[in-house]
Amino acid sequence: MTSLNAIGVDLSYTATGIAWAVDASDVYGTDPTQPDHVRAQRIALDVMAHTADRCHLVVIEAGVYRSHQAWRAGVLHGIVRSALEIHRPGLPVALVAPGALKRFATGKGSADKTAMVIAARDRLGYRAIDHNEADALWLRQIGMHLLGVPEVQLPKAHLEALAKIERPEGLR
C-alpha cells in the first residue's frame, strides 16, 4: 500500500519554496534576466518534478492581489496550475490563504516571516532560515492534515485554520 503524501509550494519568481517530505525541501530560483513567462515555465517544471512520484495533493499558498505585482503573481499561479492540470490531471490542488497558513503554523494569522521560520524550526525540525522554504514546509503539513495523515501535533488554535481551507474535489 502506498502511503499518502502532499507537497507544499510557496510560489515566487525569485525563490519558490517546495517541500516534498517532512525533512526534504528546497528553494528554487530563476534567472532574473529572463522574461517572466520563461521563469514561470521553469518554476512549473520544478513543481512537476516533485509531483511525478508519490504525490496525492499539492498545497499552494494563494496570492494576495492588492499590490503592483498582482498580475505577475496571477500569471505564475495560472501557469503552474495549468501545468498540473495537463501533466497530472485529477491531482487535487488546495489553495491556502496567507492568514490561514500563518495561523496553522504559529497560531496567529498575522505572523511575520521570522515567526514562520521559528515555528518551522521549533515544530518541524527545520534547520535553515529561508522563509520561502519554511512556508512550503508548513503548506505541506496542511496537506498532510487534509489527507488525514498528520505528521506534527499542533494546538487546537492552530488546527482551527484548517476550517478556512476549501478542500479540493476528491478530498471532501
Asked if residue 114 is part of any domain, the answer here is yes
Looking up residue 143, the CATH number of its domain turns out to be 3.30.420.10
Asked if residue 115 is part of any domain, the answer here is yes
How many separate domains does the chain show? 1
Asked if residue 169 is part of any domain, the answer here is no
Distance (Å) of CA 70 to CA 19, 74, 76, 112, 162? 24, 6, 10, 20, 25
Asked if residue 172 is part of any domain, the answer here is no
- Paired strand residues for 17: 10, 27
Asked if residue 12 is part of any domain, the answer here is yes
Nearest to 26 by CA among 41, 45, 46: 46
Encode 1-22: b = buried (16+ Cβ within 10 Å), e = exposed: eeeebbbbbbbbbeebbbbbeb
pLDDT, one tens digit per residue, over 69-125 is 677 888 899 999 999 999 999 999 999 999 999 999 999 999 999 999 999 999 999
Judge whether residue 172 has pLDDT over 70: no
Asked if residue 147 is part of any domain, the answer here is yes
Mean pLDDT, rounded, of the chain:
93
Q: What is the pLDDT of residue 35?
A: 94
What range does the domain containing 24 cover? 6-164
